[in-house]
Chains A and B, each alone.
Chain A
Amino acid sequence: MRLPLKTRLYYTVGRHLPFLKIRPPDIDRRAVLTLRPGRNSVLSWEKQESGETILTVPMKPQGGRMGRAMAKWFRIPENIEKRVELDEVGGYVWELCDGSHTVEAIVQKTGRHYKMNRREAEVSVTMFLQMLHERHFIAFYKKVSKRA
């Protein structure tokens, strides 16, 4: 989820002027475990026989109108794709990022599947999900309870 521009500016000021003591609120670990990661629909992915998973990420032409003109001038193809290779464990976690599993469920399943200790599984999975989120490969959803 992208923060509003006003909030982003507010935190940027806080980061550069630490004496103002403006910082984003601490994230509750328990709340994070209830989130549901879902894959970015723009991405396509394919599982290899060797166990690895290849993600194909479409790249936007950089530099706006000028950049597009330059790309056309130098005959750089417009539809560039980036390929990202995930290892076996990464691929397993990626498959579980379907919006129906919570982070907690992914941690438990990964730990059980690879015989990992609970803490090890939690640390590795949350770090990996964070990395995927930073690259906009996944987004986190929160299940909203329906009110009568």
Chain B
Amino acid sequence: MTTRLDMEKQAEKEAAGAPFGERAVIGWQGIRCVLPPGWNVSGFSLDRDSGYLRVDSPGSATMAVQIRWTNAAAANPGSQSLYALLMQRLGRRRQPAPPVQKPDLKMNLEKVLKDTAKQARKSKAGFESAVKPEKTEGENGERTAINFSWSGGGRGQGKIWYCQTCHRVVVAQVLGLAKDQAAIAAVASQLFATLHDHAGEGYDLWALYDLQVEIPQDFRLEAQDLRAGYLNLTFARGGEKIVVDRWGLASMALKKFTVQEWFVRHARIAVKRLAAGEEITPRGHRMAHAAGRFSLLERLRALRETRGSLRRFPTQYEGGAWECPESNKIYMVQVLHSARTVGLWQEVMRRCVCH
């Protein structure tokens, strides 16, 4: 079964100019891009409206990609009166949202370059920058972009743009040493050819450290735990949750346990009493699977977690764990959903790439 992620990967493969598996796919808070192999996320923010992402080159890490974004719609909230807030909360907003004003990109860029010049002055280096004229990009001309480059205490090549679809102002830069000019240009061209700032088909790509999964865009990142050998991303929409776990060194971990036992040990709820079985993942791995309704105790626990809110209150569980021998990892995808949400687990599973 081919998902959008697979098709996109094939398309991006050509853009990236590298065969499958020989590049790093990065996805965080709706931002996604393809970089050369071995590049890894080294810094990120948890806020969706205004945040940053830093990706370092492998080895000596003299080069880095820095992406900063702000949401122009969130930055200009319009009439945030008590009435408007209450109406938003009750879901009865009578007036449509005010149109988002196009931000002044040149002013934003000046600020970025001013900060960079300040840093260059600190390191007692001269600063030079070049800014290209504003242009319109994208399939439907939804992006207004300005390319720029600078040198001084290092070198950088970047782009600032405003996207009319997601109302984000994004500043993406490739940073490196002064001598890395050719390498910076090569990475920058790959980055800008593959960088997207909003979800496609309603799914956000979350990809870092060999974990790639697409999550419905209305789910927000609630918790994360990124350790060497263990990754966890928890997403929430009201009371509903999607939990994605990934363990490294599967060959060692599964010496003492079977996948089924591993699943039972690490599942969010007690899955022993649920209807358990075995399924095959889209990539052909055997998976321990369980699905069923919450017990009374689990409902009470969910009520405590949602702090009494009944919005999309979860009453059902579906989850599965599998070993991917190709990547030597164990993956686990769990969904805690309301009775109205059907087929969410299957959708997430289909969009989770293990190798």
B209: chain A residues at CB < 8 Å are: 117, 119-120
Closest to B328 in A: A115
Q: Confirm or deny: A5 has a beta carbon within 8 angstroms of a beta carbon on chain B.
A: no
Q: Confirm or deny: A89 has a beta carbon within 8 angstroms of a beta carbon on chain B.
A: yes
Q: Are A117 and B40 in contact (CB under 8 A)?
A: yes
28 contacts across the A-B interface (CB closer than 8 A): A29-B61, A30-B60, A30-B61, A33-B60, A88-B252, A89-B249, A89-B252, A104-B59, A114-B248, A115-B327, A115-B328, A115-B329, A116-B229, A116-B248, A117-B40, A117-B210, A117-B248, A118-B38, A118-B58, A119-B42, A119-B209, A119-B228, A120-B209, A120-B248, A123-B228, A124-B228, A124-B229, A127-B228
A81: chain B residues at CB < 8 Å are: none
Those of A86-104 within 8 Å (CB) of chain B: 87-89, 104
B38: chain A residues at CB < 8 Å are: 118
- Residue interface mask B235-256, A partner, CB < 8 A = 1: 0000000000000110110000
Task: Give Cα A117 to B248, complex, Å.
Answer: 9
Q: How far is the CB of B87 from chain A (nearest CB, A)?
A: 46
Q: Are A33 and B59 in contact (CB under 8 A)?
A: yes
Q: Which of A88, A119, A124 contacts B40 (CB 8 A)?
A: A119
A-binding residues in B (CB < 8 A) = 38, 40, 42, 58-61, 209-210, 228-229, 248-249, 251-252, 326-329
Closest to A107 in B: B59
B-binding residues in A (CB < 8 A) = 29-30, 33, 87-89, 104, 114-120, 123-124, 127
A117: chain B residues at CB < 8 Å are: 40, 209-210, 248
Task: Give Cα A29 to B59, complex, Å.
Answer: 10
Task: Give Cα A46 to B42, complex, Å.
Answer: 37
Closest to B60 in A: A30
B249: chain A residues at CB < 8 Å are: 89, 114, 116
B42: chain A residues at CB < 8 Å are: 119
Task: Give Cα A120 to B247, complex, Å.
Answer: 11
Task: Give Cα A6 to B229, complex, Å.
Answer: 40
Q: How far is the CB of A14 from chain B (nearest CB, A)?
A: 25
Task: Give Cα A88 to B61, complex, Å.
Answer: 29
A114: chain B residues at CB < 8 Å are: 248-249, 251, 328
A87: chain B residues at CB < 8 Å are: 252
Q: Are A118 and B328 in contact (CB under 8 A)?
A: no
Q: Which of A33, A88, A120 contacts B228 (CB 8 A)?
A: A120
Q: How far is the CB of A62 from chain B (nearest CB, A)?
A: 35
B61: chain A residues at CB < 8 Å are: 29-30
Q: How far is the CB of B314 from chain A (nearest CB, A)?
A: 32
Q: How far is the CB of B299 from chain A (nearest CB, A)?
A: 37
Closest to B252 in A: A88
Q: How far is the CB of B206 from chain A (nearest CB, A)?
A: 15
The 8 A-B pairs with the shortest beta carbon distances in the complex, nearest first, are A115-B328, A119-B40, A123-B228, A120-B228, A124-B228, A30-B60, A117-B209, A117-B210
Q: How far is the CB of A48 from chain B (nearest CB, A)?
A: 13
B329: chain A residues at CB < 8 Å are: 115
Q: How far is the CB of B14 from chain A (nearest CB, A)?
A: 25
B60: chain A residues at CB < 8 Å are: 29-30, 33
Closest to A29 in B: B61
A115: chain B residues at CB < 8 Å are: 326-329
Q: Are A118 and B327 in contact (CB under 8 A)?
A: no
